[in-house]
Amino acid sequence: MKYAQADDGVVVPYDVFGRRTAPAVLMIQGLGTDSRGWAVQRLTFGRRYRCVAVDNRGSGESSDAPRPLSLLTMAEDAVCVLDAEGIERAHVVGASMGGVIAQILAVAHPERVDGLVLACTSCRHHEWRRELFTEWRSLVLERGMSALATDGLRWLIGPRLHQRFGRWLDLLARILMQASPEGFAAQIDALLNASDDLRFELAAIHTPTLVVTGSQDALTPIGDAEELLELIDGAQFAELRGAAHGMMVEQPSAFNATVLGFLEEVEARRPTGDVARRAS
Protein backbone atom coordinates (compact mmCIF):
# COMPACT_ATOMS: atom_id res chain seq x y z
CA MET A 1 0.00 0.00 0.00
CA LYS A 2 0.97 3.62 -0.55
CA TYR A 3 -0.26 6.65 1.38
CA ALA A 4 -1.36 10.19 0.54
CA GLN A 5 -2.18 12.99 2.93
CA ALA A 6 -5.64 14.54 2.65
CA ASP A 7 -6.27 18.25 3.08
CA ASP A 8 -7.29 17.72 6.71
CA GLY A 9 -4.12 15.77 7.48
CA VAL A 10 -5.72 12.31 7.41
CA VAL A 11 -3.63 9.60 5.75
CA VAL A 12 -5.38 7.98 2.75
CA PRO A 13 -4.15 4.46 1.84
CA TYR A 14 -4.22 3.34 -1.77
CA ASP A 15 -2.86 0.60 -4.01
CA VAL A 16 -1.19 1.06 -7.39
CA PHE A 17 -0.83 -1.65 -10.02
CA GLY A 18 -0.45 -2.01 -13.77
CA ARG A 19 1.61 -0.16 -16.35
CA ARG A 20 3.42 2.87 -15.00
CA THR A 21 3.35 4.85 -18.27
CA ALA A 22 -0.21 3.96 -19.30
CA PRO A 23 -3.31 6.16 -18.88
CA ALA A 24 -4.54 6.15 -15.29
CA VAL A 25 -7.68 4.53 -13.91
CA LEU A 26 -8.88 5.57 -10.45
CA MET A 27 -10.95 2.77 -8.85
CA ILE A 28 -13.33 3.47 -5.95
CA GLN A 29 -15.12 0.65 -4.14
CA GLY A 30 -18.38 0.59 -2.20
CA LEU A 31 -19.81 0.24 1.28
CA GLY A 32 -17.62 -1.79 3.61
CA THR A 33 -15.27 -2.82 0.81
CA ASP A 34 -11.68 -1.68 0.36
CA SER A 35 -9.23 -1.70 -2.55
CA ARG A 36 -9.06 -5.51 -2.41
CA GLY A 37 -12.56 -5.53 -3.90
CA TRP A 38 -10.89 -5.00 -7.30
CA ALA A 39 -8.83 -8.20 -7.01
CA VAL A 40 -10.50 -9.80 -10.04
CA GLN A 41 -9.73 -6.71 -12.12
CA ARG A 42 -6.03 -6.40 -11.24
CA LEU A 43 -4.52 -8.55 -13.97
CA THR A 44 -6.83 -7.56 -16.82
CA PHE A 45 -6.96 -3.84 -16.08
CA GLY A 46 -3.27 -3.75 -15.17
CA ARG A 47 -2.23 -4.98 -18.61
CA ARG A 48 -3.59 -1.81 -20.19
CA TYR A 49 -3.70 0.88 -17.52
CA ARG A 50 -2.02 2.36 -14.50
CA CYS A 51 -4.58 1.57 -11.81
CA VAL A 52 -4.99 3.39 -8.50
CA ALA A 53 -7.42 1.83 -5.98
CA VAL A 54 -8.36 3.80 -2.85
CA ASP A 55 -9.33 2.63 0.63
CA ASN A 56 -12.24 4.96 1.40
CA ARG A 57 -12.42 6.39 4.89
CA GLY A 58 -14.07 3.79 7.11
CA SER A 59 -12.71 0.77 5.22
CA GLY A 60 -9.47 -1.18 4.82
CA GLU A 61 -6.43 0.59 6.23
CA SER A 62 -8.53 3.74 6.58
CA SER A 63 -11.11 2.16 8.90
CA ASP A 64 -10.02 4.33 11.86
CA ALA A 65 -10.34 7.66 10.03
CA PRO A 66 -11.88 10.46 12.14
CA ARG A 67 -15.67 10.59 12.14
CA PRO A 68 -18.18 11.67 11.04
CA LEU A 69 -17.44 10.71 7.44
CA SER A 70 -18.74 12.34 4.29
CA LEU A 71 -18.84 11.27 0.66
CA LEU A 72 -17.61 14.71 -0.39
CA THR A 73 -14.51 14.26 1.77
CA MET A 74 -13.95 10.81 0.23
CA ALA A 75 -14.11 12.37 -3.24
CA GLU A 76 -11.52 14.95 -2.21
CA ASP A 77 -9.38 12.12 -0.78
CA ALA A 78 -9.39 10.51 -4.22
CA VAL A 79 -8.15 13.77 -5.77
CA CYS A 80 -5.36 13.92 -3.17
CA VAL A 81 -4.33 10.41 -4.19
CA LEU A 82 -4.13 11.48 -7.83
CA ASP A 83 -2.01 14.44 -6.77
CA ALA A 84 0.29 12.18 -4.74
CA GLU A 85 0.85 10.04 -7.83
CA GLY A 86 1.39 13.03 -10.10
CA ILE A 87 -1.67 12.16 -12.17
CA GLU A 88 -3.43 15.13 -13.74
CA ARG A 89 -6.33 13.23 -15.30
CA ALA A 90 -7.72 9.70 -14.94
CA HIS A 91 -10.60 7.52 -15.91
CA VAL A 92 -12.73 6.99 -12.80
CA VAL A 93 -14.48 3.68 -12.09
CA GLY A 94 -16.81 3.70 -9.09
CA ALA A 95 -18.93 0.83 -7.76
CA SER A 96 -21.96 1.20 -5.47
CA MET A 97 -21.07 3.86 -2.85
CA GLY A 98 -17.90 4.37 -4.88
CA GLY A 99 -20.14 5.25 -7.82
CA VAL A 100 -21.71 8.06 -5.80
CA ILE A 101 -18.22 9.29 -4.84
CA ALA A 102 -17.28 9.14 -8.54
CA GLN A 103 -20.31 11.27 -9.43
CA ILE A 104 -19.30 13.87 -6.83
CA LEU A 105 -15.74 13.87 -8.17
CA ALA A 106 -16.92 14.32 -11.76
CA VAL A 107 -19.14 17.25 -10.77
CA ALA A 108 -16.59 18.96 -8.49
CA HIS A 109 -13.44 18.24 -10.54
CA PRO A 110 -14.42 17.65 -14.18
CA GLU A 111 -10.92 18.66 -15.28
CA ARG A 112 -9.52 15.55 -13.55
CA VAL A 113 -11.81 12.98 -15.21
CA ASP A 114 -11.27 11.52 -18.70
CA GLY A 115 -13.92 8.79 -18.62
CA LEU A 116 -16.50 7.90 -15.98
CA VAL A 117 -17.84 4.41 -15.18
CA LEU A 118 -20.72 4.18 -12.71
CA ALA A 119 -21.35 0.56 -11.72
CA CYS A 120 -24.23 -0.75 -9.59
CA THR A 121 -24.95 2.69 -8.17
CA SER A 122 -27.56 5.43 -7.87
CA CYS A 123 -27.88 9.20 -7.50
CA ARG A 124 -30.54 9.45 -4.79
CA HIS A 125 -32.07 7.69 -1.84
CA HIS A 126 -35.22 5.57 -1.80
CA GLU A 127 -37.01 5.18 1.49
CA TRP A 128 -36.76 1.38 1.40
CA ARG A 129 -32.98 1.63 0.92
CA ARG A 130 -32.69 4.12 3.78
CA GLU A 131 -34.54 1.65 6.00
CA LEU A 132 -32.32 -1.23 4.88
CA PHE A 133 -29.10 0.69 5.54
CA THR A 134 -30.38 1.82 8.93
CA GLU A 135 -31.14 -1.80 9.81
CA TRP A 136 -27.66 -2.91 8.68
CA ARG A 137 -26.10 -0.15 10.78
CA SER A 138 -27.90 -1.34 13.91
CA LEU A 139 -27.08 -4.99 13.22
CA VAL A 140 -23.33 -4.55 12.81
CA LEU A 141 -22.99 -2.29 15.85
CA GLU A 142 -24.93 -4.74 18.00
CA ARG A 143 -23.63 -8.06 16.67
CA GLY A 144 -20.58 -7.35 14.51
CA MET A 145 -20.07 -7.78 10.77
CA SER A 146 -21.05 -11.44 10.92
CA ALA A 147 -24.64 -10.25 11.30
CA LEU A 148 -24.58 -9.53 7.54
CA ALA A 149 -23.29 -12.99 6.62
CA THR A 150 -26.66 -14.18 5.34
CA ASP A 151 -29.12 -11.34 4.75
CA GLY A 152 -26.52 -8.81 3.65
CA LEU A 153 -24.89 -11.09 1.09
CA ARG A 154 -28.28 -11.92 -0.40
CA TRP A 155 -28.58 -8.26 -1.38
CA LEU A 156 -25.06 -8.16 -2.81
CA ILE A 157 -24.76 -11.46 -4.68
CA GLY A 158 -27.11 -13.01 -7.21
CA PRO A 159 -28.81 -16.37 -6.62
CA ARG A 160 -26.75 -18.26 -9.21
CA LEU A 161 -23.50 -17.39 -7.48
CA HIS A 162 -25.04 -18.29 -4.13
CA GLN A 163 -25.73 -21.76 -5.52
CA ARG A 164 -22.16 -22.17 -6.73
CA PHE A 165 -20.65 -20.44 -3.67
CA GLY A 166 -17.46 -19.96 -5.64
CA ARG A 167 -14.15 -18.50 -4.58
CA TRP A 168 -15.08 -14.96 -5.64
CA LEU A 169 -18.09 -14.94 -3.31
CA ASP A 170 -15.72 -16.12 -0.60
CA LEU A 171 -13.41 -13.20 -1.44
CA LEU A 172 -16.18 -10.60 -1.22
CA ALA A 173 -17.58 -12.10 1.96
CA ARG A 174 -14.13 -12.19 3.57
CA ILE A 175 -13.49 -8.51 2.82
CA LEU A 176 -16.89 -7.52 4.17
CA MET A 177 -16.59 -9.66 7.30
CA GLN A 178 -13.17 -8.13 8.04
CA ALA A 179 -14.53 -4.60 7.91
CA SER A 180 -14.70 -2.55 11.08
CA PRO A 181 -18.32 -2.39 12.36
CA GLU A 182 -17.75 1.22 13.44
CA GLY A 183 -16.26 2.15 10.07
CA PHE A 184 -19.08 0.39 8.23
CA ALA A 185 -21.67 2.23 10.32
CA ALA A 186 -19.90 5.54 9.71
CA GLN A 187 -19.97 4.93 5.94
CA ILE A 188 -23.70 4.25 6.18
CA ASP A 189 -24.12 7.55 8.03
CA ALA A 190 -22.22 9.26 5.21
CA LEU A 191 -24.55 7.68 2.65
CA LEU A 192 -27.69 8.59 4.58
CA ASN A 193 -26.52 12.16 5.12
CA ALA A 194 -25.51 12.72 1.49
CA SER A 195 -27.66 15.27 -0.27
CA ASP A 196 -30.03 14.14 -3.00
CA ASP A 197 -29.35 17.51 -4.62
CA LEU A 198 -26.55 15.77 -6.52
CA ARG A 199 -29.21 14.75 -9.03
CA PHE A 200 -29.61 18.34 -10.12
CA GLU A 201 -25.87 18.75 -10.70
CA LEU A 202 -25.38 15.69 -12.91
CA ALA A 203 -26.37 17.65 -16.02
CA ALA A 204 -23.04 19.44 -15.62
CA ILE A 205 -21.18 16.20 -16.39
CA HIS A 206 -19.96 16.20 -19.99
CA THR A 207 -17.36 13.50 -19.44
CA PRO A 208 -17.95 10.31 -21.48
CA THR A 209 -19.91 8.12 -19.07
CA LEU A 210 -20.87 4.45 -18.89
CA VAL A 211 -23.59 3.25 -16.52
CA VAL A 212 -23.36 -0.49 -15.76
CA THR A 213 -26.00 -2.50 -13.93
CA GLY A 214 -26.78 -6.15 -13.25
CA SER A 215 -30.15 -7.55 -14.28
CA GLN A 216 -30.51 -9.17 -10.83
CA ASP A 217 -29.27 -6.23 -8.76
CA ALA A 218 -31.79 -5.83 -5.94
CA LEU A 219 -29.88 -3.15 -4.03
CA THR A 220 -29.52 -0.70 -6.94
CA PRO A 221 -32.04 -1.99 -9.49
CA ILE A 222 -32.25 -0.96 -13.10
CA GLY A 223 -34.44 2.05 -12.27
CA ASP A 224 -31.45 3.69 -10.58
CA ALA A 225 -29.37 3.18 -13.71
CA GLU A 226 -32.15 4.60 -15.89
CA GLU A 227 -32.26 7.74 -13.77
CA LEU A 228 -28.52 8.25 -14.16
CA LEU A 229 -28.90 7.84 -17.93
CA GLU A 230 -31.61 10.49 -18.00
CA LEU A 231 -29.56 12.99 -16.00
CA ILE A 232 -26.10 12.57 -17.58
CA ASP A 233 -26.12 13.75 -21.17
CA GLY A 234 -24.84 11.15 -23.62
CA ALA A 235 -24.26 8.44 -21.02
CA GLN A 236 -24.02 4.90 -22.37
CA PHE A 237 -25.70 1.89 -20.76
CA ALA A 238 -24.65 -1.72 -20.25
CA GLU A 239 -26.62 -4.45 -18.49
CA LEU A 240 -24.90 -7.63 -17.34
CA ARG A 241 -27.47 -10.39 -17.57
CA GLY A 242 -27.68 -12.59 -14.49
CA ALA A 243 -25.42 -10.35 -12.38
CA ALA A 244 -26.41 -8.75 -9.10
CA HIS A 245 -24.81 -6.02 -7.01
CA GLY A 246 -21.40 -7.71 -6.79
CA MET A 247 -21.06 -7.83 -10.57
CA MET A 248 -17.29 -7.29 -10.63
CA VAL A 249 -16.76 -10.59 -8.75
CA GLU A 250 -19.84 -12.43 -10.01
CA GLN A 251 -19.16 -11.90 -13.69
CA PRO A 252 -15.59 -10.56 -13.87
CA SER A 253 -15.04 -11.44 -17.54
CA ALA A 254 -18.19 -9.63 -18.67
CA PHE A 255 -17.59 -6.68 -16.35
CA ASN A 256 -13.94 -6.32 -17.38
CA ALA A 257 -14.71 -6.58 -21.09
CA THR A 258 -17.54 -4.04 -20.84
CA VAL A 259 -15.58 -1.45 -18.87
CA LEU A 260 -12.33 -1.86 -20.80
CA GLY A 261 -14.17 -1.69 -24.10
CA PHE A 262 -15.71 1.63 -23.06
CA LEU A 263 -12.38 3.04 -21.86
CA GLU A 264 -10.75 2.04 -25.17
CA GLU A 265 -13.45 3.98 -27.01
CA VAL A 266 -12.76 7.03 -24.86
CA GLU A 267 -9.02 6.71 -25.43
CA ALA A 268 -9.51 6.36 -29.19
CA ARG A 269 -11.37 9.68 -29.31
CA ARG A 270 -8.58 11.59 -27.56
CA PRO A 271 -6.26 13.77 -29.67
CA THR A 272 -3.02 12.07 -30.68
CA GLY A 273 -0.19 12.95 -28.33
CA ASP A 274 -2.48 14.00 -25.47
CA VAL A 275 -0.65 12.70 -22.40
CA ALA A 276 -2.02 15.11 -19.80
CA ARG A 277 -3.75 12.28 -18.03
CA ARG A 278 -0.49 10.37 -17.56
CA ALA A 279 1.90 10.69 -14.68
CA SER A 280 4.20 13.67 -14.87
Domains and CATH numbers, the chain: 2-268 (3.40.50.1820)
What is the model's pLDDT at position 80? 98
pLDDT band at residue 277 under the 50/70/90 scheme: very low
Of 33-37, 193-197, 275-279, the least confident = 275-279
Nearest Cα to 225, choosing from 253, 207, 202?
Answer: 202
**Band of residue 125 on the pLDDT scale cut at 50, 70, 90:** confident
Could you tell me the pLDDT band of residue 279, with boundaries at 50, 70 and 90? Answer: very low
Count CB-CB contacts under 10 A for residue 49. Answer: 23
156 contacts 244 by C-beta, under 8 angstroms = yes
User: For residue 170, what pLDDT is reported?
Assistant: 63
Q: What is the pLDDT of residues 145-189, one digit of tens each?
A: 988 876 656 666 555 544 443 455 566 777 888 889 999 999 999
Write the pLDDT tens digit of every residue in 209-230.
999 999 999 999 999 999 999 9
pLDDT confidence of residue 173: 73
Sign of CA dihedral 86, 90, 93, 97: positive
pLDDT attached to residue 163: 46
Does the pLDDT at position 197 exceed 70?
no
Q: Quote the CA–CA distance of 278 and 43 in Å, as a whole number.
A: 20
Between CA 258 and CA 238 the distance in angstroms is 7
DSSP 1: -
Rounded to whole angstroms, the Cα distance separating 100 from 69 reads 14
- Cα→Cα distances 205→168, 236, 255, Å: 34, 13, 23
Inform me whether the pLDDT recorded for 200 exceeds 90.
no
Give mean pLDDT, residues 54-71: 95
